[in-house]
Structure 1
Amino acid sequence: MLKLNSRAGVSQILRVAIVGGALMLAAGCETVGDTTAGPQTAQAQMDNVQLTLYEAAREAEASNKYEMAAGVYGRLFERRPDDPTILSAFVRNMRYSGRAPEIVDYVQAKTPHMLTDPGVKFEYAKALLAAGRKAEAVVALNESLAILPNDWQVYSALGIAYDSMGRFDEAIAVYTAALNRSPNNVVVMNNMAMSLAMSGKLADAIAVLERAAGINRSNAHVRQNLALLYAINGDVERARALTAMDLDVSDVETNLSFYRRFEGLNQ
């Protein structure tokens, strides 16, 4: 079996994987924590035109039409410029549609006063992270924690930010805090496992991800990350078996050709 005794070797491989989406960022909610005006309150205050736009935006987002949803939420926010629920949704869908840098600049220029709202602050922090502004994202996420100290999603996002900066011990600490608030959360367990692997603790990482796969047997993302860790550990056959559960034959072979690059590494 392949043995990776170099922390740097594992970390280098997994950094490549993470660029491809090995970590999982929890989907944003319309409200986060104890915001003062939730969606139902916002809807009750809308006129017919605003309500029509709101329902159209929600439907577009639910259908993964994020560009469309962002556009509609943006128009709705022009009509409701003091509504943090709408701004949060606008920021979220701009991030989903790959326009994080644009929406970060928008918030900073047009709505900095709205960052006192917990939901807006958290969505803005995630947009900073998606825009590659890692240090700023860490600051914003820690500020979000001060407002939402019991929200596991904030801890998980902060862990991703720390991982992206190579601050693995800090990442593992906040993932642990997230699991204390949301036990057996597969999203958090996935991210903790990848962080452990990047820090060189491959056996611990596999153990965490095996538990996560057992908790949610339908999560293909977790299975494929586990396959990656098996391959890094030299167990290509177990990696093949997991990969085959979600991919067709040609994709399995493509993945296995990638896994075989680990053979002989650090030997």
Structure 2
Amino acid sequence: MRRTCFAGLLLAASLALGACQNKSASLDGADPMTTGSTSPPSLKETAKLGKSWQNDPKNLRLGLAYASRLKKLGQSDQQLQVLATLIQYHPENPTLLATYGRELAQAGQPDRAQPALAKAIAQGSSDWKVYSAMGSTLDQQAKYGEARDYYQRALKLAPDNAAVLNNLGMSYALEGNLKQAEKTLREASDLPAGKSEPRLRQNLALVVGLQGRFEEARQIASADLPPDQVDANMAYLQKMLAQPNTWQQLTEKPAG
């Protein structure tokens, strides 16, 4: 699937950075459900925890812990089912609403994510990740102007946040304003957090390449990817831009 790496990146632009590397990868920061451990959870312990929660489905602590383990195991559908059940018992819990909304947004379900995130925001959430996730849901619905309003609100809560700036830049890219997208992504890349984030550089390479500056895009991408993958990405971009009425229209769309 190497040749579709950049295409997948743009389609998931503001939600999952570097979708070609990991479809759930994000720069939005640590999830409130996760623990500090990066090792995969035990299947046996996860099953045991799940049984305990099923015997007490109202238990928010158990449910969130179980959902967290399911996520780490890559069982996103089951994770969302657990969170949906918890929402039925705790429909006003702001942390749960925020977590559920963010996970739905990452799963590409903006119609379901938006009400949960809106409710968390209405309750006065001060978590920048909630506003960034709301922006992602709106980008997925092609409501780019509204999405950027939420990214700006996230930046007020977390100034110079590389993750939010990435999402903002890719929102511009989705709308076709590639010059502003590049400017925003370069701003994010110059931040300390951005310098250590290869997925952000790949987004920048994508936006530069979409403007036809393939050699410059190649140099940016080469900082993190092997030569054969860079070549494949550049070839895909060139082929994509050569097709009339598709990406060519995107690059020629006026800013506004």
TM range (shorter): 0.7 to 0.9
C-alpha separation in 2, matches of 1:13 and 1:77? 36
| Structure number with higher helix proportion | 1
| Structure 2 equivalent of residue 37 of structure 1 | none
2:156 counterpart of 1:180: yes
Verify the 8 A CA contact 1:244 1:252 in the aligned structure 2.
yes
Which residue matches 1:251?
229
1:222 to 196, 200, 209: 200
Contact in 1 for aligned 2:13/2:167 (Cα 8 Å): no
Structure 1 unmatched ranges of 5 or more: 1-10, 32-56
Contact 1:115 1:121 in 2 (8 A): yes
Q: Which residue of 2 aligns with 1:171?
A: 147
* 1:128-167 → structure 2 map (5 Å cutoff): 128-167=104-143
Q: Does 1:124 align with 2:100?
A: yes
Residue range with higher mean Cα deviation, 254-263 or 70-79: 70-79
Provide TM-score, normalisation by structure 1: 0.73
Give the corresponding residue for 1:210. 186
State how far apart, in whole Å, the 1-side matches of 2:68 and 2:230 are. Answer: 33
- CA distance 1:29–1:103, shift in 2 (3 Å): closer
> Equivalent of 1:26, from 9, 28, 37?
28
Q: Does the 8 Å contact 1:92/1:123 carry over to 2?
A: no
**Equivalent residues, number:** 230
Matches within 5 A, 1:43-58: 58=35
Offset at residue 75 of structure 1 (A): 4.7
Q: Which residue of 2 aligns with 1:233?
A: 211
Q: TM-score by structure 2 length?
A: 0.76
Would you say the 8 A contact 2:87–2:97 is kept in 1?
no
Displacement, 1:109? Answer: 4.3
Identity %: 26
* Amino acid in structure 2 at the alignment position of 1:200: G
Distance 1:223 1:12, change over 3 A: closer
How far apart are residue 200 of structure 1 and its match?
Answer: 2.0
Shift of 1:158: 0.8
* 1:91 and 1:127 in contact (8 A); partners too: no
Q: Quick one: structure 1 residues 241 and 12, their matched pair in 2 at CA, closer, same or farther if it must change by over 3 Å? A: closer
Q: If you compute each CA radius of gyration, which structure gives the higher value, 1 or 2?
A: 1
- How far is the alpha carbon of 1:173 from its aligned partner? 0.7
- Verify the 8 A CA contact 1:84 1:117 in the aligned structure 2: no
Contact 2:189 2:201 in 1 (8 A): yes
1:251 partner SS: helix
Structure 1 vs Structure 2 CA RMSD: 3.2
Provide closer, same or farther for how the CA distance between residues 198 and 186 of structure 1 changes in structure 2, counting only shifts above 3 A: same
Amino acid at match of 1:248: P
When residues 13 and 190 of structure 1 are mapped into structure 2, their CA distance, relative to the original with a 3 A threshold, is closer
Q: Whole-Å Cα distance in 2 between the matches of residues 30 and 79 of structure 1?
A: 23
Structure 2 distance, partners of 1:174, 1:181, is: 11
Shift of 1:28: 4.2
- 1:251 and 1:80 mapped to 2: Cα distance? 48
Structure 2: give runs of 5+ residues left out of the alignment. Answer: 1-6, 243-247
Cα 1:243–1:72, aligned 2, differ >3 Å: closer, same or farther?
farther
TM-aligned CA distance change 1:26 to 1:260, over 3 Å: same
Which deviations, in whole Å up to 9, do the C-alpha atoms of 1:20-39 show, x marking residues without a partner? 628835244337xxxxxxxx
Distance of aligned partners of 1:156 and 1:17 in 2 relative to their CA distance in 1, 3 Å threshold: closer
Deviations 1:203-248 (A, max 9, x none): 1110010011110211101000000000001111111111110011
Confirm or deny: 8 A CA contact 1:70 1:90 kept in the other structure: yes
